[in-house]
Amino acid sequence: MKMTFRWYGSAIDPIPLKYIKQIPGMTGIMGMLDKRAGVDWPEEEIRALTEEVSAAGLECEVIESVNVHEDIKLGGGRRDEYIANYISTVRTLAKYGVKVIIYNFMPVFDWLRTDLKRVIPEDGSNSLYFDEKDLGEMGPLEIVRRTAEDSQGFSLPGWEPERLSLLEETLRRYESVTPDDLRTNYKYFLDAVIPVCEEAGVRMACHPDDPAWPIFGLPRIAHSQSDFDKICALHDSPANTVCLCTGSLGSDPANDIPAMIRHFGSKDRIGALHVRNVKHLGYRHFREAAHVSEYGDLDMYDIMKAIYDTCPDSYIRPDHGRMIWDEQGRPGYGLYDRALGAVYLRGVWEGIERSEKK
Ligand code: DNO
């Protein structure tokens, strides 16, 4: 298991690499460049990022949020141009030692919440919160406005302002798109990109829909085991993998997360994992929780054991968690609770490792 930490780059991440290095068990980061979807990431910036990370004694083998342009998802007129840029980015990342690229195929929105700092009454911390009822009342424009306001000036992954400025137009373009249409366009993308990944030694890892159901009537095709079976079958290759995000999939209590890890892990189809906990509050209603099993509804021992048994060499990162100790930071990406989460997960791992070796 390689324990990593999400890092946005020194220009926009308030957390210095040396703090990440000080978290016990940390081997590397899941890095990114803050780029619009569709852009070919400049080699100079990729080189600078990977050099900075390795100078800090950490690895940069996973890159996150190489976002897919809506034209690719919609099968629009300029998709070949955007796919060519994507392929060029894949090649450059591989050249600088990147082994896994995390992306998603969610129409319009990346992850979505109705409150970015809902106070947890039990301890006074706050965390990301979602209630489908509130979503219905707000509608897409209002949710974007509130998310921007609540993010307190921090950029949020997948919420690039340029893309959201086209929100109404993009929503209209999706009106007639069915899940099968989306899968057809997805296959077109994978058929072009995966052979390049195989040649370059990189794996693509698709992040699930978050939350794990359709929102605003948009087609969503990545929120259950059978969805990901279909995605893997669109272009069957060890380079076409799942980013198994326990919290995104776990927002739907019907998803059995340890079983899904075993299913995809035993087929070598997990490229990376995001590990976090959620507390179910009702129908399509949840909040994010401390990583520790008893504080949420996901069993972290069963999750880590499934990883240990089926894909023990995976890249993992603690995800989200709460904002604690009055930390002011990018919602979902505070330092403290993610660091506690990482060390807790490392502890669970140590326990499993020792008892298995007896
Ligand atoms: C949310 C993140 C996602 C993820 C992207 C990958 O907190 O896990 O934004 O990075 O979906 O493309």
Nearest-CA residue for atom 1 of ligand 1: 111
* Shortest-distance atom of ligand 1 to CA 103: 12
Cα distances (angstroms) measured from residue 239 to each of 55, 68, 196, 200, 220 = 28, 17, 9, 10, 22
Question: Which of 35, 106, 108, 111 should be mutated for ligand 1, with most atoms under 8 A from CB?
Answer: 111
pLDDT for the residue 151: 87
pLDDT at 22 over 90: yes
By most ligand atoms within 8 Å of CB, the mutation choice from 70, 109, 110 for ligand 1 is 110
- Return the residue whose CA atom lies nearest to atom 10 of ligand 1: 65
- Whether 142 and 67 have beta carbons less than 8 Å apart is answered as no
pLDDT tens-digit map of 59-100: 999 999 999 999 999 999 999 999 999 999 999 999 999 999
Instruction: With beta carbons less than 8 A apart as the criterion, state whether 80 and 48 touch.
Output: no
Q: What is the 91 CA–ligand 1 centroid distance (Å)?
A: 21
Q: In terms of C-beta density within 10 A (0-12 exposed, 13-18 middle, 19 or more buried), how is residue 110 classed?
A: middle
Q: Which domain holds residue 294?
A: 2-357
What pTM did the predictor assign? 0.97
Q: Averaged over 121-149, what is the pLDDT?
A: 91
Catalytic residue among 245, 252, 291, 311: 245
Domain count across the chain: 1
> How many angstroms is it from 110 CA to the middle of ligand 1?
7
Ligand 1 centre distance from Cα of residue 158 (Å)? 7
Pocket test residue of 41, 64, 276 for ligand 1, highest count of atoms within 8 A of CB: 64
Residue 294: alpha-carbon gap to chain centroid: 23
* Nearest Cα residue to atom 9 of ligand 1: 157
Note the pLDDT of residue 249: 98
User: How far is CA 165 from each of CA 143, 148, 160, 182, 308, rounded to the nearest angstrom?
Assistant: 13, 12, 9, 22, 43
pLDDT single digits (tens) 275-288: 999 999 999 999 99
Task: Please tell me the distance between residue 209's alpha carbon and the centre of ligand 1 in angstroms.
Answer: 9
Is the Cβ–Cβ distance between 32 and 10 less than 8 Å? no
Which residues does ligand 1 sit against, CB inside 6 Å? 64-65, 102-104, 110-111, 157-158, 207, 274, 332
More confident residue, 225 or 160: 225
Q: Identify which of 86, 102, 337 to mutate to test ligand 1's pocket (most ligand atoms within 8 A of the CB).
A: 102
From ligand 1's centre to the CA of 168, what distance in Å? 22
243 catalytic, yes or no?
no
CA distance 228 to 220: 12
**Which candidate in 8, 69, 206, 207 is catalytic?**
207
Q: Which positions ≥6 away from 33 have C-beta within 8 Å? A: 9, 41, 45, 46, 49
Measure 321 CA to ligand 1 centroid, in angstroms: 14
Cα–ligand 1 centroid distance for 313 (angstroms)? 21
Whether residue 316 contacts residue 345, with contact meaning beta carbons closer than 8 Å, is answered with yes
Give the nearest ligand 1 atom to 332 CA: 7
Give the bridge partners for 102, in sequence order: 64, 205
Q: What HEC string does the chain produce?
A: CEEEEECCCCCCCCCCHHHHHCCCCEEEEEECCCCCCCCCCCHHHHHHHHHHHHHCCCEEEEEECCCCCHHHHHCCCCHHHHHHHHHHHHHHHHHCCCCEEEEECCCCCCCCCCEEEEECCCCCCEEEEEEHHHHHHHHHHHHHHHHHHHCCCCCCCCCCHHHHCCHHHHHHHCCCCCHHHHHHHHHHHHHHHHHHHHHHCCEEEEECCCCCCCCCCCCCCCCCHHHHHHHHHHCCCCCEEEEEEHHHHHCCCCCCHHHHHHHHHCCCCEEEEEECEEEEEECCEEEEECCCHHHCCCCHHHHHHHHHHHCCCCEEEECCCCECCCCCCCCCCCHHHHHHHHHHHHHHHHHHHHHHHC
Known catalytic membership, residue 207: yes
Report the mean per-residue pLDDT for the chain. Answer: 96
Residues 317 and 30 sit within 8 Å (Cβ to Cβ): yes
Nearest CA to ligand 1 atom 5: 65
Residue 167 has a pLDDT of 86
Residue with tokens 């950029």: 155
Query: In this predicted structure, what is the pLDDT of residue 165?
Result: 77
Of 82, 129, 186, 333, catalytic: 333
Quick check: 198 pLDDT over 80? yes
- For residue 147, what is the domain's CATH number? 3.20.20.150
pLDDT at 162 over 90: no
Residue 326 · residue 337 · CB < 8 Å? no
pLDDT over threshold 90, residue 155: no
pLDDT over 90, % of the chain: 88
Q: Per-residue pLDDT for 156 more than 90?
A: no
Residues 307-326: tens digit of each pLDDT: 999 999 999 999 998 999 99
| pLDDT attached to residue 45 | 98
